[in-house]
A = this chain, B = another copy of it.
């Protein structure tokens, strides 16, 4: 998974930026009910090996007194990305960070939300509180998934 000096397609600088930005995003979480902060970062394909923060879009979890009404970091980040005009093909990598020692993956709902816009080979980096990471592709996280191809758009 490391070739040409790239880590799952990312330069060392890009991976560091992805990590820094999802850690920073976590500080914006509104999570008075779970006290479980999550940050997410999306690296755009327009980024270069020596990319800047302007090529990253971030999100944090936003909870609600009615728990099912809240939303997760990954979906907040992707919502902002869609608003910025990005679509399938725009994303190079995803980062997720929490405050626990384990590696925390996106919940199933977020995997489905992301899958609408990510290639199946897009890497999702999961950082623990120390900044150590594991990585899985979108397709690995949601095998046999269905997207726009299965339930075709209306027009």
B102 touches A65 (CB 8 A): no
The count of chain A contact residues (Cβ–Cβ below 8 Å) is 63
This protein's copies in its complex: 4
Q: What residues on B are CB-neighbors of A94 within 8 Å?
A: none
The answer to whether the Cβ of A68 comes within 8 Å of any Cβ in the partner chain is yes
Q: What residues on B are CB-neighbors of A85 within 8 Å?
A: 28
A79 touches B68 (CB 8 A): no
The answer to whether the Cβ of A145 comes within 8 Å of any Cβ in the partner chain is yes
Known: A107-B112, A108-B111, A112-B109. A83 touches B28 (CB 8 A): yes
Between-chain CB contacts (< 8 Å), 24 pairs: A30-B82, A32-B154, A32-B155, A33-B151, A59-B83, A62-B78, A64-B116, A65-B116, A65-B147, A65-B148, A65-B150, A66-B72, A68-B69, A68-B107, A69-B109, A69-B112, A100-B150, A104-B150, A105-B144, A108-B112, A136-B143, A140-B143, A141-B144, A143-B143
